[in-house]
Structure 1
Amino acid sequence: MNDDQLLRYSRHILLPQLDINGQQTLIDSHVMIIGLGGLGAPVSMYLAASGIGKLTLVDDDEVELSNLQRQIVHGQQDIGREKVASAADKLRELNPDVSLQLINQRLDKAGLMAATADVDVLVDCSDNFATRFLLNEVSREQNLPLVSGAAIRFEAQITVYDPRQAESPCYRCLYEDKGELEQSCSESGVLAPMLAMVGGTQAVETIKLLTGVGESLAGRLLLLDALSMQWREIKMKQDPDCPVCSQNQEQQ
């Protein structure tokens, strides 16, 4: 690190759990963020500010006026622009040292497998089940930790799926892929600042995974009720019949 970086990241370096070696690890890391919306906005901003060396941003959407209530990485002047380009401008303002790779398309499985070949942590900030199931498969096959978040109305959930841990459950252990209709914030609404709480927590979990600090949320699901401002924790176990990650599946 040069003198400017030592000053920029000094508050991280002061933390004994991180110190200069942990910060260097962040600088040497590569994180992929899927979705630059309500969750991807705070995740990308905090990870860029924290000094993640390379961020790959994936989103095929454009900025709309209705996004600005919660997607704080975009501004009024960005309406009509690609979200990845809009976010990149903001992140470069925050930290010009961060290398950015922009993917303005919805990747299929082959595309995700290729794009995650040198990624250290995958962060799911998407807004649909199809993408979440796909990211879960890629996470397991690439042995890549997946930081998952979701929010709607006044409710949210956050967890980590870590295939590097033998008994860690995956997304498919919790949800069956039945192709059911799902609710979206465009239909049900979502409280804007709650997304900062969830996205900030996803950023914390990402940094912990990269540096090995603390205990990750792997095997634990955090549920937020913002109306009562209560957090609940649910212990998760691997589904022995999960078609993606179970030991039974491996033996078949």
Structure 2
Amino acid sequence: MSLPPLVEPLDALSSREHLRTARHQRLAGLGSEGQRRIAAASVGVIGAGGLGAPVVLALAAAGIGRIVVFDDDDIELSNLQRQVIHRLQDVGRPKTDSVVRVASDLSETEVRVVGTRLTLDNAAELISGVDLVLDGTDSFESREVIAGACERLAIPLVWGSVQEFAGLVTVFWSAPPEGADAVRLHDLYPPGSEAPACSAVGVFGPMCLQAGSMMAAEALKLITGIGRPLLGRIAMIDVLAGTVREVPLRAARTTAPASPPASPAAPQTIPAVDDPADGTVVIDVREADEVATGMLPGARHLPLASLLGDVDTVAAELAGSEVVVVCQVGMRARRAAQALRGAGVDAVVLRGGMDGYNSRRQPA
């Protein structure tokens, strides 16, 4: 169902913005009034990374009135594979610098930068004043803080998640207009859920643009009141299959808690150990540059892609062995162990990966 426009329109656009956004104003249902609503809107963008970068590009190009960007990170070289607003010469600079530059290069969008990290204590106060929030963070701790603040402020939260070759996009809103059901983050993921950051499992760069573009479109739909927002629905992107499908999302009931859809954020549970036993075969599925920093004694290096590409042959070689699979934090190891167990191998993972193993061995 369509929802009422979230923002009242400006009386008029500047002459330059009127010309610049002419193609928007020709769209049936959006028109001049919708563009003036976009120009009047203030949005919070949490994170200027893989999702925040295309969100900022799309919203600034659309002529959004104000973007309040929350990010306290500096740009690293490895960010440039997917965070498309940053450039080689920006490495080492704050990510928010790129947001300011991009917005000024595209439109009259005003940018306000907040370098303070959001916490349970300050998030609602820092976010207050925006019409909606777009969350592009990659940790559940941050997502829960942001979702809780939006619930307290009763503003919509456009939410996205990307890992490996899959992505999710939806809208949460604790107090939507009459006729629409409230949906919250914890209706999708229970409190305390965990997922590895994309730095641990990787992410396919072009998918960030796809998911971020969808997030920006959801924000513009809410602002202008056009179309059918993803409130109560989750868009599920599978880049390898070339598909985008949806599943319904409704408020969780105490008798039947909601389960998240199958995705990299909800892997199958695999047994884990803290330390491989003597005689156990250890398979390290990290990449060559990672294992160069150190491996478990006697471990066999077999990158995840190689293992998954010929799992039956690998399983035949390991038949009858007790196998421990290790990666950096655990996500890739769980995926490899799941494949091996499906092929009949008694495979478990090293709990917490190499990061967890090394931390357990640090002096108390």
Q: Calculate the TM-score normalised by the size of structure 2.
A: 0.64
Shift of 1:201: 0.3
Instruction: Give the corresponding residue for 1:70.
Output: 82
Q: Distance in 1 between the 2:193 and 2:34 partners?
A: 41
Instruction: Give the corresponding residue for 1:199.
Output: 212
* 1:1-252 correspondence to structure 2 within 5 Å: 1-95=13-107, 97-165=108-176, 167-178=181-192, 180=194, 182-241=195-254
Q: Match of 1:178, as an amino acid?
A: G
Shift of 1:188: 1.1
Q: Distance in 2 between the 1:224 and 1:11 partners?
A: 28
Shift of 1:150: 0.5
Q: Distance in 2 between the 1:118 and 1:241 partners?
A: 33
Provide the alpha-carbon RMSD of the alignment: 1.4
Q: Is the 8 A contact 2:164 2:198 kept in 1?
A: yes
Query: Does the residue aligned with 1:136 lie in a helix, a strand or coil?
Result: helix
Shift of 1:174: 1.4
Q: Match of 1:112, as an amino acid?
A: A
Q: Match of 2:119, as an amino acid?
A: D
Q: Is the 8 A contact 1:82 1:104 kept in 2?
A: no
Q: Distance in 2 between the 1:183 and 1:159 partners?
A: 20
Q: Distance in 1 between the 2:192 and 2:34 partners?
A: 42
Q: Match of 2:236, as an amino acid?
A: L
Q: Distance in 1 between the 2:172 and 2:110 partners?
A: 26
Query: Does the residue aligned with 1:52 lie in a helix, a strand or coil?
Result: coil
- Ranges of 4+ aligned residues in structure 1 off by more than 3 Å: none
Q: Match of 1:159, as an amino acid?
A: T
Instruction: Give the corresponding residue for 2:299.
Output: none
Q: Is the 8 A contact 1:74 1:90 kept in 2?
A: no
Q: Distance in 2 between the 1:69 and 1:146 partners?
A: 26
Q: Match of 1:22, as an amino acid?
A: G
Query: Does the residue aligned with 2:122 lie in a helix, a strand or coil?
Result: helix
Q: Distance in 1 between the 2:193 and 2:247 partners?
A: 25
Q: Is the 8 A contact 1:124 1:132 kept in 2?
A: yes
Describe the superposition over 1:8-57 as per-residue Cα deviations: whole angstroms up to 9, x where unpaired.
01011101211111111111110000000000000011101101101000
Query: Does the residue aligned with 1:109 lie in a helix, a strand or coil?
Result: coil
Q: Is the 8 A contact 1:35 1:124 kept in 2?
A: yes
Q: Match of 2:227, as an amino acid?
A: G
Describe the superposition over 1:105-155 as per-residue Cα deviations: whole angstroms up to 9, x where unpaired.
212234221222211110001111011111111111111000000101101
Shift of 1:179: 5.6
Q: Is the 8 A contact 2:45 2:70 kept in 1?
A: yes
Name whichever of 162-171 and 221-230 sits farther off: 162-171
In structure 2, runs of 5+ residues without a counterpart are 1-12, 256-364
Q: Distance in 2 between the 1:55 and 1:2 partners?
A: 18
- Indicate the structure (1 or 2) with the bigger Cα radius of gyration: 2
Q: Calculate the TM-score normalised by the size of structure 1.
A: 0.91
Shift of 1:164: 2.6
Shift of 1:104: 1.4
Shift of 1:199: 0.2
Q: Distance in 1 between the 2:185 and 2:112 partners?
A: 26
Query: Does the residue aligned with 1:37 lie in a helix, a strand or coil?
Result: coil
Instruction: Give the corresponding residue for 2:261.
Output: none
Describe the superposition over 1:186-228 as per-residue Cα deviations: whole angstroms up to 9, x where unpaired.
1211110111000000000000001111110000011111111
**Paired residue total:** 240
Q: Per chain length, whose mean CA-contact separation is higher, i.e. which structure has more relative contact order (CA < 8 Å, sep 6+)?
A: 1
Q: Is the 8 A contact 1:122 1:145 kept in 2?
A: yes
